[in-house]
Amino acid sequence: MKKTLAETRLYRAEQNEKILGAGLKEFNRFFALDTAAYRAGALPVQMKELMGLVGSMVLRCNDCIFYHLDRCVTEGCTRQEIMEAMNIALVIGGSIVIPHLRYAFEVLEQLSPSGARTPSEVDGPRGEQGTT
Amino acid sequence: MKKTLAETRLYRAEQNEKILGAGLKEFNRFFALDTAAYRAGALPVQMKELMGLVGSMVLRCNDCIFYHLDRCVTEGCTRQEIMEAMNIALVIGGSIVIPHLRYAFEVLEQLSPSGARTPSEVDGPRGEQGTT
Amino acid sequence: MKKTLAETRLYRAEQNEKILGAGLKEFNRFFALDTAAYRAGALPVQMKELMGLVGSMVLRCNDCIFYHLDRCVTEGCTRQEIMEAMNIALVIGGSIVIPHLRYAFEVLEQLSPSGARTPSEVDGPRGEQGTT
Amino acid sequence: MKKTLAETRLYRAEQNEKILGAGLKEFNRFFALDTAAYRAGALPVQMKELMGLVGSMVLRCNDCIFYHLDRCVTEGCTRQEIMEAMNIALVIGGSIVIPHLRYAFEVLEQLSPSGARTPSEVDGPRGEQGTT
Amino acid sequence: MKKTLAETRLYRAEQNEKILGAGLKEFNRFFALDTAAYRAGALPVQMKELMGLVGSMVLRCNDCIFYHLDRCVTEGCTRQEIMEAMNIALVIGGSIVIPHLRYAFEVLEQLSPSGARTPSEVDGPRGEQGTT
Amino acid sequence: MKKTLAETRLYRAEQNEKILGAGLKEFNRFFALDTAAYRAGALPVQMKELMGLVGSMVLRCNDCIFYHLDRCVTEGCTRQEIMEAMNIALVIGGSIVIPHLRYAFEVLEQLSPSGARTPSEVDGPRGEQGTT
């Protein structure tokens, strides 16, 4: 990976700031809708982020994969949950997804040396993602 | 919708049978992998089918949307869960997904006159999808 | 084409109504953003609708092509303007766009027997699309 | 399938005629390039049509799948060759290709009741596609 | 951005030269069609380049975004026109377009420190792009 | 190109090893299917790799283009065969494929200074790819 996690996050934050400050309010409204889509509702945040990961992988967008993996790990998704979601993306999207799976493993390794938490490390029950 | 639910299911079943009987065993192995990806594991079947729905919508495949909606309703996903997943697909995939959202609403209406079960109709806790 | 112009428009309107009445306010906000994107601004409505047409053709969405062609003709785009925009889409998207070009010609024929207005029929200067 | 082989071919021919007669010479030049790409060269026509089939399947375009299957069968590709090419498309493109595989089997059945010629029916050696 | 504007332009020019000198005349003909699609006709060059930008963004191709932004700024499109076209692409293509919007802002900043000309800097009327 | 051939191959091999060792056996089964699709059958390996190249180009995946070009050259595909296959991909996929054509020429130049073997360097007849 060309950049560290911190560099990738910084680049995203800086560019987003430019977009949101560009003076076209529709950009701001789109970003707000994007954020809202992943808020806890009938579905917990963890499941929504995994859905975002699946969508990002089948559409083959590394920047989006990075973001959703980062969020999944933060929200306490386990390594096995992430791998099962990525397998769904692989089967739906085919071998063209494999380069993005390679990238995802690279990111996961950086996000969590052991590759995201093991199930026992996740304390709270599914749905209380605010506490994890 | 041109076909009834029963007709759509029948067409799928008949054509799948032809593919699986065509004598190229790689087709059979791919279909087996496809089925395996949605089996309960660390993630419950309901969440996996919703992920399949998200992947199908962002890739804009009506036949796949039909199949995963059919499965979601069978597995007891609530209308609200389905709508939140479809909203994630809409935001990821953009307005180009809207025609497929129209189709999804058409299918949902047929699958369940009230548009999939309401939360109160789902008895068991998340994860016991085998009982719903 | 399976449906008449009126049937296609009615189907869209009916299904959109169901989506917007489904109770997930994010759907409504997305549709509002979609509408806003094509309002006159620095770019006139005609050019925005042609851009919507290009986007729809390269992403190969017949429902979207129908909608933007319908809007383009209503807003007074000439046949030549529409064809030049479609040619950009064809070159960008390749031969995979050809089936959608065939569909677009079918729609255009219905929208305007002579295939959209000829330049001489457009009175006002570019930008006064509110009067056409 | 909604249309017979003859109807599908007729629709294509009629719409192509309209496009080519529309007065935008770039359309004609694009169609000429499209035709030229599949002419025999270092690669025989059969292999080029199979490549066109693979490209059409991974991009999930039924009209294009129809056309290239029609050409493959006309040029004498065997059923086994077609299935191996379709399997490459399935693996590259993933389960999202399956609905198009179902469609392809429908078309193949119509093109040749026994599903394209068996190897023994193909007389000439590979490359002499002009004689088949 | 890994490369400067000059480096990106040079890389493109060098590689294009190799393709066009490779001896397959179909490559040359395709490139000629590509160039022709953006020539002034019923639509002015500026609008055509903005359409090329929309097509490039919804198909998520950074190299193409770079090229059309470069051309848009050269042809005198204003910052507001570019932003409105990019917003159409964002709404059509969804959040998966956002990483490309970040890239576009990076390019715009380099192309013009103030982010493309302001409307007052554009002298000639729309359509006289030959003079800008 | 950021990496040498050797570096690109090493990165692929290392990441694939991590995926295959991650403990989700479905990943392993998918990779096995992927490998099987390109084995000699009714179609020779060379033609299958060229089909993989076409699929990779129209889906615009540089990592996949690298891999299939590497395999094509190893299997003895001639420069002319590769160029004709790439032209099919260009026509199908449109100008959005051009950046990937630039990348392909970069890779080809590294794989074989003269850009893949000339026809006279290929000894065996088509189909005996096991000997090349």
3-state secondary structure of A43: coil
3-state secondary structure of F102: helix
Q: What is the widest separation between alpha-carbon atoms in chain F?
A: 47
- What lies within 8 Å, CB to CB, of F55 at 6+ separation is A96, D54, D55, D58, D88, D89, D92, D93, F64
Distance of alpha carbon C122 from alpha carbon C104, whole angstroms: 21
Kindly report the three-state secondary structure assignment for every residue of B48-83. Answer: HHHHHHHHHHHCCCHHHHHHHHHHHHHCCCCHHHHH
CA distances from C6 to B2, B103, C9, C13 (A): 17, 18, 5, 10
Q: Indicate the pTM of the whole model.
A: 0.89
Distance of alpha carbon E95 from alpha carbon A15, whole angstroms: 15
Give the model's pLDDT for residue D2: 66
Distance of alpha carbon F88 from alpha carbon D51, whole angstroms: 8
Interchain contact, E55 vs C52, CB within 8 Å: no
Residues of B in contact with E97 (CB under 8 A): 94
pLDDT tens-digit profile of D65-115?
999 999 999 999 999 999 999 999 999 999 999 999 999 999 999 998 654
Interchain contact, C97 vs F92, CB within 8 Å: no
Interchain contact, E51 vs C52, CB within 8 Å: no
pLDDT tens-digit profile of E3-53?
899 999 999 999 999 999 999 999 999 999 999 999 999 999 999 999 999
Confidence check on the interface: ipTM exceeds 0.90, yes or no? no
Distance of alpha carbon A93 from alpha carbon D94, whole angstroms: 5
CA distances from B117 to B72, B74, B80 (A): 11, 10, 9
The tokens describing A15, both together, are: 């560019």
Residues of B in contact with A61 (CB under 8 A): none
Interchain contact, F58 vs C96, CB within 8 Å: yes
CA distances from B123 to B82, B126, B131 (A): 17, 9, 9
Task: Assess contact for B79 and C24: CB atoms under 8 A.
Answer: no
**Nearest CB partner across the interface for E55, out of C43, C64, C92:** C92
Task: Assess contact for C34 and C12: CB atoms under 8 A.
Answer: no
Give the model's pLDDT for residue A112: 83
Residue C33 to chain A, least CA–CA distance (Å): 7
3-state secondary structure of B112: coil
The tokens describing E75, both together, are: 């042809």
Interchain contact, B19 vs D102, CB within 8 Å: yes
pLDDT tens-digit profile of F105-125?
999 999 986 544 444 444 433
- Angle in degrees, 0-180, between the axes of helices D45-58 and F45-58, rounded to the nearest 10: 40
Specify the range with the lowest mean pLDDT, choosing from C1-15, C68-82, D73-87, F70-84.
C1-15
Residues of D in contact with A97 (CB under 8 A): 94
Q: Which chains touch C (3 or more CB pairs under 8 A)?
A: A, B, D, E, F
Task: Assess contact for F53 and D47: CB atoms under 8 A.
Answer: no
Best to test chain F binding among B24, B28, B31, B33 (most F CBs inside 10 Å): B33
Distance of alpha carbon B60 from alpha carbon B93, whole angstroms: 9
pLDDT at A59 over 50: yes
The tokens describing C40, both together, are: 């006159």
Task: Assess contact for C20 and C27: CB atoms under 8 A.
Answer: yes
pLDDT tens-digit profile of E41-73?
999 999 999 999 999 999 999 999 999 999 999
The rounded radius of gyration (Å) of the Cα atoms in chain D is 15
Residues of D in contact with C91 (CB under 8 A): 26, 30
Distance of alpha carbon E45 from alpha carbon E77, whole angstroms: 10
Nearest to D61 by CA among C97, C54, E93: C97
Q: Which residues of A touch F (CB under 8 A)?
A: 60, 80, 83-84, 87, 90-91, 95-96, 98-99, 101-102, 105-106, 109, 115
pLDDT at B72 over 70: yes
Interchain contact, E54 vs C56, CB within 8 Å: no
Distance of alpha carbon C66 from alpha carbon C114, whole angstroms: 17
Task: Assess contact for B43 and B52: CB atoms under 8 A.
Answer: no
More confident residue, E1 or B94: B94
The residue of chain F with its CA nearest to that of A101 is F19
pLDDT tens-digit profile of C60-117?
999 999 999 999 999 999 999 999 999 999 999 999 999 999 999 999 999 986 544 4
Distance of alpha carbon A74 from alpha carbon A86, whole angstroms: 17
- Tell me which residue has tokens 């056309």: D67
The rounded radius of gyration (Å) of the Cα atoms in chain F is 15
The residue of chain E with its CA nearest to that of A15 is E102
Residue D49 to chain C, least CA–CA distance (Å): 14
Interchain contact, C33 vs A33, CB within 8 Å: yes
Q: Which residues of D touch E (CB under 8 A)?
A: 26, 29-30, 33, 36-37
A and D: number of Cβ contacts within 8 A: 28
Kindly report the three-state secondary structure assignment for every residue of chain C. Answer: CCCCHHHHHHHHHHHHHHHHCCCCHHHHHHHHHHHHHCCCCCCCHHHHHHHHHHHHHHCCCHHHHHHHHHHHHHCCCCHHHHHHHHHHHHHHHCHHHHHHHHHHHHHHHHHCCCCCCCHHHCCCCCCCHHHC
Residue type, B116: A
Q: Which chains touch F (3 or more CB pairs under 8 A)?
A: A, B, C, D, E
Best to test chain A binding among C29, C38, C48 (most A CBs inside 10 Å): C29
- Angle in degrees, 0-180, between the axes of helices D79-93 and B25-37, rounded to the nearest 10: 20
The tokens describing D111, both together, are: 């093109």
Instruction: Give CA D30 to chain center in angstroms.
Output: 18
Residues of A in contact with D93 (CB under 8 A): 93-94, 96
Cβ-based neighbour number of residue A11 at 10 Å: 14
pLDDT at C32 over 70: yes
- Angle in degrees, 0-180, between the axes of helices A25-37 and A5-20, rounded to the nearest 10: 130
Task: Assess contact for D56 and C96: CB atoms under 8 A.
Answer: yes
